[in-house]
Structure 1
Amino acid sequence: MKPLTVLGFLGSTLDAGKFDAGRWNKWRPSVSICMQEDLRVDRFILLHGSYHRRLAETVARDIADVSPETEVVPHILDFDDAWDFEEVYGKLLDFARDFPFDPDTHDYLVHITTGTHVAQICLFLLTEARYLPGRLLQTQPQRGAPQPVGTWNAIDLDLSRYDSIATRFAEASADSASFLKSGIETRNPAFNRMIGEIEQVAMRSRAPILLMGPTGAGKSQLARKVYELKKLRHQLAGPFVEVNCATLKGDSATSALFGHRKGAFTGAAQDRPGLLRSADKGLLFLDEIGELGLDEQAMILRAIEEGRFLPVGADSEAKSDFQLIAGTNRNLVEQVRAGSFRDDLFARLNLWTFSLPGLAERREDIEPNLDYELERFAEREGSRVTFNREARERYLAFAESPEAKWRGNFRDLAASITRMATLNTTGRIDSDAVKLEIGRLGFLWQADDRSADGLEQILDAGRLAAIDPFDRAQLAFVVGTCRSCRSLSEAGRTLFTVSRDLRKSTNDADRLRKYLARFGLEWADIRQTAAG
């Protein structure tokens, strides 16, 4: 066995007593440690103040009487205020750093029964942080007639060694992960592992979290669940604030995010706090963060790192302490390379990055999500609807097959279930209803195929929505030509080969550049998405 060292404070009250034989009828914690039949103490580091030197000498002599093999090492540690947490912790930390601990050859017990409550807390914290490399030691008197020995108990802070505690921790973690999944018994192993990791990060860290994945994969719902879980654990007190960055453009984006002062610009009739300040003490979810401009990205980075930002038109900075979750369906690595996303912001967000798979990658989870959507419909509409067995089997056979595209991911599934539940009149979805819905989904996905012109790769949803169908068709043709050409001039010559002979100036590249500028596009934007 390794030699055992006990470290503890002298108990100025509990270890004290009359300096006569009567003191042996009293339980004295420091002395009782060395009176235990099943605990051999080779060395006792007795911490005490200069004022209690005489008591320390008496306790040392009594320990020598009951345990001659124990070496008592008095160590003077004076405090100006023994109830000042900062002073006590600081001086104990200095002691711990200077003491020649050797856990490879010695065992250590840290006695937390004596000393002020502040000292006991500090010893606990330093032991938990491994500045004091030992186990905690508690002592107490035995019940009944007074006697000096008492009892002792060593506590190992490695909670995994305590079966009942470890089991409860595992159950709590499983419950938290289930909460993040809305109670859905998902079957995809990779997704379940990811949710387990998110649960650990959410509970142990306030660092930003980045959720990547296609539209409809559940980023927004997961962010809200993280917020609700942290609020249940009293880790957040403020609100959940969700922002779709794709809807924020130009000067209005800065004002919406960071607020403005009255009169900062035309139309600023009153102060606006901004979304960041609204999220103070809570959680801010910036969905589609890749759509933010570079200026807003710089301000977001400072707000994350320092908790401060400057509202539009303000002379002084505002503060907000929020947890950030960012979402995107874009490849931020590619955006960093293209210069449209700041590399320092990406580095800050990339500490905890999780990629949510689309529904087509989690087909085994369609069935439990089907049941979840039926429950949501019942709660929302107050009417419970179910499938008959044949209809359920037919729908799942289609939904889990490669034939089902699920381009909108869980949004497609939710809409599909809602349509069938709403159109039924008996409370039971039958095979005919399933047949109609399968046909409807096939038609919708075919329409998506026809409208897939590639513009979504270079324009966000907000800008695409602002283009009328005629201009979109023309722009799609121009973009397709640009992607097949090696230079701006070559693309211009190809597009304007008929009309160029009728004009005096034939600067095709300039003409094409001006056309693209109408839609906020540059040649580089298109070439980045060209095949090969």
Structure 2
Amino acid sequence: MKTTVIGILGSRLDHQGLGKRRHSRWRPSVGILMHPDFPVDEFVLIHHADEAELAGITLRDMHELAPNTRLTSHVVNYSNPWDFGEVYSQLHDFTRQYRFDPEQNHYYVHITTGTHVAQICLFLLTEANYIPGKLLQTSPSKESTQGTLQIIDLDLSRYDQIASRFEREAQEGMAYLKGGIDTRNPAFNAMIAQLEQVSIRSAAPILLTGATGVGKSRLAKRIYALKKQRGQVSGKLVEVNCATLRGDNAMSALFGHVKGAFTGALTARTGLLREADKGLLFLDEIGELGLDEQAMLLRAIEDKVFTPFGSDKETSSDFQLIAGTNRDLFQRVRDGKFREDLLARINLWTYELPGLRHRLEDLEANIEYELQQFTRKVGHKVSFNKAAREQYLAFAQTPAATWRANFRDLNSSITRMATLANGGRITEESVTEEIRRLRYDWGSFQEAAASNNSDSVLREFVATEVLETIDHFDRVQLAEVIRVCRTAKSLADAGRSLFNVSRTQRASANDSHRLRVYLQKYGLTFQQLT
């Protein structure tokens, strides 16, 4: 491996006079080549256009000292050496022009010479791996003119103390995103671990998916708080449920409007995107946005500019987007209700939050969290007695506990029991009553779903005028018969399944005939259904 040093000419430290006296003084750039235990194959000297004469003298002295070292120069020409943006830009241009080959070279960036601004820029370019190397710091020595040198490796993973600190910060960030809940679900914990890294390293859109009540809004708020804590955002969190936005109101709410843009627009409106400048915009239920709003949102994400409703002038807003949805956005694209280009833009970091039924190992920790939140709200502690807790946990993990609204159901359930807990203790009686209520609520949804499903099946095969003459009892029965027929291999197979008990009590079981007669009653045939 060869050794390459990149450094900036020091207009004062590398000068030390133009006569022979300069050879008796420490000059940082020249001194690097005096170290026998640090042979340099190439030295790239960056200097300002106004320093050509000093650069020439320095390079000649370096050649005389180390004739086998390849010496090259790179000229910069910033007008103000203390203008951070200008200096960084030109040094960044150097890193793009120079052909780095880390497989064949060790690179060292000399940060002793140059202005403090230039030194900081070189550090940042090395830290960001634009220069794939290590830092080199030199200092004078009383013993010789070569001075001393110190190598600084920016690979922080090599330093146990720093690495452990980063690991500790990552763990703290994960705990913050989980609200302090000690979750045990492996898939959920892995998702949060990656989301913690993405939250503090990226300003790209994040898409949170999952059923109603899985905690998308709560997680978005925690992501914002974490980014605010780490200095990633300075603006505020702006959140809106897109399902509440319709027509002109959607355009106005999101992008603002000018006075007189439409009837009733008596004053100008800033808009949510502008309010989220330097902050975070959370658009919940983004799948409900209209196509026109989607088009403007895409441009605002990509270009950071948009046009308020009724205006002919653009405005800007630098925000990060977090989108939430319980819809299948890919299906919405296929249905023509969501823009494919917008989905591609917000689908960079997508996280599906699992429902409570898929995180039952986290149930007990979330129950404790809900009790703590209730205690904080009302000002006195509420808890289960042992038997009541065991009773509630046992039911909560049975198939009967559907947790249809996920953590919202859990929150409501704990709130009811805690509110009615005399003396701050939730008893078996309270749990029994709560279980009865949950069974009723969830059962009502299931019955409605079954009824709706039956009607949709019947309307597919039975004329509306015929359907209106059939009792609800007969509708449910007919819908089940149709379902069995549609999955059966033959009429006889369907008959055996439907008459599985009564056929054993007959001397001669003619299942096909019985089923055919039943279907004819409603003007149906087995062939129609299959």
User: TM-score band, normalised by the shorter chain?
Assistant: 0.7 to 0.9
Which residue of the other structure, out of 356, 364, 367, is the alignment partner of 1:367? 364
Q: Deviations over 1:250-279 (max 9, x none)?
A: 333333323333333333333332322322
Which residue is 2:273 aligned to?
Answer: 276
Mapping 1:127-166, distance limit 5 Å: 127-141=126-140, 148-166=145-163
Which residue of the other structure, out of 417, 422, 444, is the alignment partner of 1:420? 417
Which residue is 1:518 aligned to?
Answer: none
Structure 1, 83-92 or 178-187: larger mean CA deviation:
83-92
Contact 1:63 1:70 in 2 (8 A): no
Length-normalised TM-score, structure 1: 0.80
Aligned CA distance change for structure 1 residues 21 and 266 (closer, same or farther; 3 Å):
closer
Q: What is the distance in 2 between the residues matched to 1:491 and 1:263? A: 52
Mapping 1:44-443, distance limit 5 Å: 44-49=43-48, 52=51, 55-56=54-55, 59-60=58-59, 63=62, 68=66, 71=69, 73-75=71-73, 77-81=75-79, 82-85=81-84, 87-141=86-140, 148-443=145-440
TM-aligned CA deviation for residue 347 of structure 1: 1.6
CA RMSD of aligned residues (A): 3.0
TM-aligned CA deviation for residue 230 of structure 1: 1.1
Aligned CA distance change for structure 1 residues 235 and 105 (closer, same or farther; 3 Å):
closer
Which residue is 2:494 aligned to?
Answer: none
Code of the aligned partner of 2:121:
C
Code of the aligned partner of 2:107:
Y
The runs of 5 or more residues in structure 2 that have no matched partner are 471-528
TM-aligned CA deviation for residue 226 of structure 1: 0.9
Code of the aligned partner of 1:250:
G
Q: What is the distance in 1 between the residues matched to 2:251 and 2:148? A: 65
Q: Deviations over 1:90-126 (max 9, x none)?
A: 5444544444543322322111111122332332343
Aligned CA distance change for structure 1 residues 74 and 50 (closer, same or farther; 3 Å):
farther
Length-normalised TM-score, structure 2: 0.80
Contact 1:309 1:319 in 2 (8 A): yes
Q: What is the distance in 1 between the residues matched to 2:251 and 2:366? A: 38
Contact 1:26 1:146 in 2 (8 A): no
Code of the aligned partner of 1:344:
D
Which protein is bigger by CA-based radius of gyration? 2
Which residue is 1:28 aligned to?
Answer: 27
Q: What is the distance in 1 between the residues matched to 2:242 and 2:386? A: 43
Which residue is 1:511 aligned to?
Answer: none
Q: What is the distance in 2 between the residues matched to 1:300 and 1:454? A: 40
Q: What is the distance in 2 between the residues matched to 1:264 and 1:98? A: 51
Code of the aligned partner of 2:136:
L
Contact 1:245 1:291 in 2 (8 A): yes
Paired positions, count: 471
TM-aligned CA deviation for residue 225 of structure 1: 0.7
Q: What is the distance in 2 between the residues matched to 1:305 and 1:385? A: 49
Structure 1, 19-28 or 126-135: larger mean CA deviation:
19-28
Q: What is the distance in 1 between the residues matched to 2:74 and 2:351? A: 52
The runs of 5 or more residues in structure 1 that have no matched partner are 456-475, 499-530
Q: What is the distance in 2 between the residues matched to 1:444 and 1:71? A: 82
Contact 2:78 2:87 in 1 (8 A): no
Q: Deviations over 1:414-473 (max 9, x none)?
A: 111111111111122222222222222112211222333687xxxxxxxxxxxxxxxxxx
Which residue is 2:509 aligned to?
Answer: none
Contact 2:49 2:77 in 1 (8 A): no
Q: What is the distance in 1 between the residues matched to 2:231 and 2:424? A: 41
Code of the aligned partner of 2:233:
L
Q: Deviations over 1:24-63 (max 9, x none)?
A: 6644322332344542333333333465455445545665
Q: What is the distance in 2 between the residues matched to 1:370 and 1:404? A: 15
Mapping 1:446-525, distance limit 5 Å: 446-452=443-449, 481-482=458-459, 484-485=460-461
Aligned CA distance change for structure 1 residues 11 and 277 (closer, same or farther; 3 Å):
closer
Contact 2:78 2:90 in 1 (8 A): no
Q: What is the distance in 1 between the residues matched to 2:205 and 2:286? A: 13
Code of the aligned partner of 2:77:
F
Contact 1:388 1:430 in 2 (8 A): yes
Aligned CA distance change for structure 1 residues 429 and 291 (closer, same or farther; 3 Å):
same
